[in-house]
Structures are given as C-alpha cells and as structure tokens.
Amino acid sequence: MVEKDNKMEKIVSLCKRRGFVYQGSEIYGGMQGFYDFGPLGALMKKNLKDLWWDWMIKEHDNIVGIDGAIITNPKVWEASGHIKSFVDPLSECKKCHHRFKSDDIEDGKCPDCDGELTEPRTYNILVPTEIGVIEGEKIKAYLRGEACQTIYLDYKSILDSSRLKIPFGIVQIGKAFRNEITPGNFLYRQREFEQWDLQWFCHPEEMEKWFEYWKEERMGWFKQYFTHPEKLSFYKHDKLAHYAKKAFDIQYDGKEIEGIHWRGDWDLSQHSKFSGQDLAYTPEGGEKFVPNIVETSGGVDRMFMFLLLDAYDESDGSDGREKGEITLHLNPKIAPIKCAVFPLVKKDGLAEKAKGIYKNIKSCFSAYYDESGSVGRRYRRQDEIGTPFCVTADYDTLKDEAVTIRDRDTMKQERIKISEINNYLFEKINS
C-alpha cells in the first residue's frame, strides 16, 4: 500500500511520465492552475465524459444536452449574483508573501512560516475579458465561472423547440474559469477546468422527491467506477445559500467531487427579472409556475484525479508482481487503452501476425502495439497505465490462430481464438 501523504506526488509523477497530464506552458515555467491532458489523459477523460453523457441521456427519460457559449452577455453574471458575491477574502503573509483564503486560516498566522497576515481583502474570482476590436470601445465580459448559466439561458428555447414537458433535464459538459487565489493540489483546484451539469426542472411540489432521487442516482453512478467505493460518502452542508433548502456533496476520501443542490426557482426568477423575459411554465390545463431546479454539478478533472488516486497500487510482492510494481486498477470502461498487443518476439513472422491482430482490435477499441523488451516488461508498462487486457501472439498462434490474453488485475492467462478477441473484450469491458 502507498502512504496517503506521498500518493499524490506519485500520481503527479506518473501522469507526466506516462502522458496523462502535463503542467500547462511548462517550457516557459508553467502557469499555476492550468494543465494539459496528454495522449492517455485525453483518452481517459473522453471515456469519462462519454460515460456520464450517455448515462444521463440514454438511461433517463426527458433529458437533453446542449453545448453553451463560454462568453455570454455580462448581464448574465449580474443576474446570477456572481459579480456582486462571487468573491473570496484573501490574506497575505507579511514575511513570506504567500497568499491564502482567509477561510482556510485557523489561528491568524501564516500556515507556511507562522508570519503575520494582512487584513483580509476581497477579490472577485470571475475571469474578465474584453469583446470588440477598437480600443476604448471594447465591452467588458467574463469567461463563465460555472457551466450551468447557459442552461438557464436556453431553457425556454428548448421548451419552445421541443416536445419536452416538465419535469425534464438539461445537461452540459464544458469549460469554466475561476481566478482562484490559491490553486493547487494538482487537478483539484484549477483556474481552467471542466464541469458536468444536470439542471432538472420540476414543479415546486415535487422538489423533495426529485432531490432525493438525483442524490441517490448520482451516488450509485459513482460507485460503479471506483475500485474502493467505500471511500465515497455524502457530506451535508449546514451553511446554505439563501435560495437553497438542501445541499449535499459527494466526496471521495473527504474531498468534494460533485454537489447536489436545491436551487429552487431563484435562477429562473433572476434571469426573468434582469432580462425582462417571462421564464415561467404553463402546463396544459394547469396553473402557471416558475420551475424549481435540482442541480447535480461536478468537476470532470476532479473525478479524473480521484479515479487515478483510487486505482493506484504498488505491489508488496504478495500478488505475483515484483515489490514496488505499479498497477492502475482502472475500470475497463474508463481505462485509456483497452488492450495491448504483443508479438512474443519480433522475428519469424510473429510481428506481422501481431500487427494484423492489433489492427483488427483497434477498429473497435483503443489499442496499443508494443514489441520492445521482454513480454514481462511490456506487461508492467501496460499495468502502470491501467490497460486491462494484453494479447500475445506466439509461435503456436501461427499454427492454431489463437492467442494468449492476460487480465491486468488477476494476471490470469487464457487461450482464445483470434476471431473471438473483439467479442471477448466487449463482454469483459461491459460486464
């Protein structure tokens, strides 16, 4: 087992070494709070987003998706309250000049050097930008601080252009930007990140039912993909926004992944007030009302990080691996590479045979071909990036058209026909 204190360091190192995540602008010294997802990270993140999107839309009734703009009319953020209240109090150490959120300081002293702190100053964490081409005539705007606002802006258009009726949901996955005072802890707190959002619109009298429904639905979804689901828990907020009746976080090991929020009718009422547009809903033969909203909003990048932390394992030597060998026990649906293909050796036609098998697998699954080093070393490289299955073509393959397929977690090997590989992988990945 890996000590909790240094596990994050090991994850960061692994991410850079194997192409999951890189520091943004690293050749220029980096930019705090910005990261690039490498070849393996981009694949894994896409898998994660696809799973969420398909689950929301395909496995639930009355949910549609949008892809909203990152920059909106600045009045949006006035209506939402972000310009006035999307703020953090900040204190600076007079000795080391490090800055901290005032809420994170317990004893009034600098957490790094025990120095004296300045009085808290308030900063808005929306990221400003300008729209226009002529200096002096540019309009001040903002990169969106949360992805949900465009859902509220498009809600009425979706109702008008579809046959949807309340209750229904709108989902979105998209970038958000926050000028965080203290970004850090790898992907946990960034200045540029991705969110997935469900905004569920319902009758005020049904809020309780739908809030509990989505709370349990989301926890059930998370538990499918974690190796250690026992580390997932709910955290109930005692301090609530003025419009909220309830708010829960889904946490992994005490850290927030996603929030389930009782937003009521506040968002639509605010946008109605500031835009002058009536966003109320009138059902056939019923009374007009402003829909209430249950929100489930999570960080895609946070989930990505927690899945790596959850899956990371260093062998103690008792499982048939060498002591210290790294394995990522990622759920096969999330793993960036589903199957690696090896020739036993590069000669005698085995490489050509293995490349043909690889090409066939790659037509259906993300796959990787490797002929460098011993088979054992190749296994270890794939274990380290979480590849669930490895296929080896050997001399018998040339005779019987069968290969050896090895399971990452159990390390068991079995012989199957080349013609059956894709069906085998499909059943295993989706079981």
Task: Give the start-to-end residue ranges of the domains of the chain.
Answer: 4-72+144-308, 337-429
List Cβ<8 Å contacts ≥24 apart for 395-399. 395/344, 395/348, 395/350, 397/350, 397/353, 398/348, 398/349, 398/350, 398/353
Nearest C-alpha neighbor of 334 from the set 261, 388, 276: 388
- What does the alpha-carbon distance between residue 20 and residue 28 come to, in Å, rounded to a whole number? 20
In the Cβ-directed half-sphere of 219, how many Cα atoms lie within 13 Å?
Answer: 17
How many other CB atoms are there within 10 angstroms of residue 136's CB atom?
5
Model pLDDT, residue 40: 98
Strands 192-202 and 232-236: unpaired
Alpha-carbon gap, residue 131 to 148, rounded angstroms: 22
End-to-end CA distance of the chain: 27
CB 304 within 8 A of CB 257: no
For the segment(s) 4-72+144-308, the CATH number from 3.30.930.10, 3.40.630.10, 3.40.50.720, 3.40.50.1950 is: 3.30.930.10
Give the C-alpha separation, 409 to 64, whole Å. Answer: 37
**SS3 string of the chain?**
CCCHHHHHHHHHHHHHHHCCEEECCHHHCCCCCCEEECHHHHHHHHHHHHHHHHHHHHCCCCEEECCCCCECCCHHHHHCCHHHHCEEEEEEECCCCCEEEHHHCCCCECCCCCCEECCCEEEECCEEEEECCCCCCCEEEEECCCCCHHHHHHHHHHHHHCCCCCCEEEEEEEEEECCCCCCECCCCECCEEEEEEEEEEECHHHHHHHHHHHHHHHHHHHHCCCCCHHHEEEEECCCCCCCCCCEEEEEECCEEEEEEEEEECHHHHHHHHHHCCCCCECCCCCCCECCEEEEEEEEHHHHHHHHHHHHEEECCCCCCCCCCCEEECCCCCCCCCCEEEEECCCCCCHHHHHHHHHHHHHCCCCEEECCCCCHHHHHHHHHHHCCCEEEEECCCHHHHCEEEEEECCCCCEEEEEHHHHHHHHHHHHCC
Asked if residue 147 lies in contact with residue 66, where contact means CB atoms within 8 angstroms, the answer is no
* Token pair recorded at residue 420: 């059956």
Joined together, the tokens standing for residue 297 give 């909003």
User: Quick check: 189 and 180 in contact, CB under 8 A?
Assistant: yes
Instruction: Please list the ranges in the chain whose pLDDT falls under 70.
Output: 1-5, 86, 88, 103-104
Into which CATH architecture does domain 337-429 fall? 3-Layer(aba) Sandwich (3.40)
Task: Give the whole-angstrom CA distance, residue 73 versus residue 94.
Answer: 39
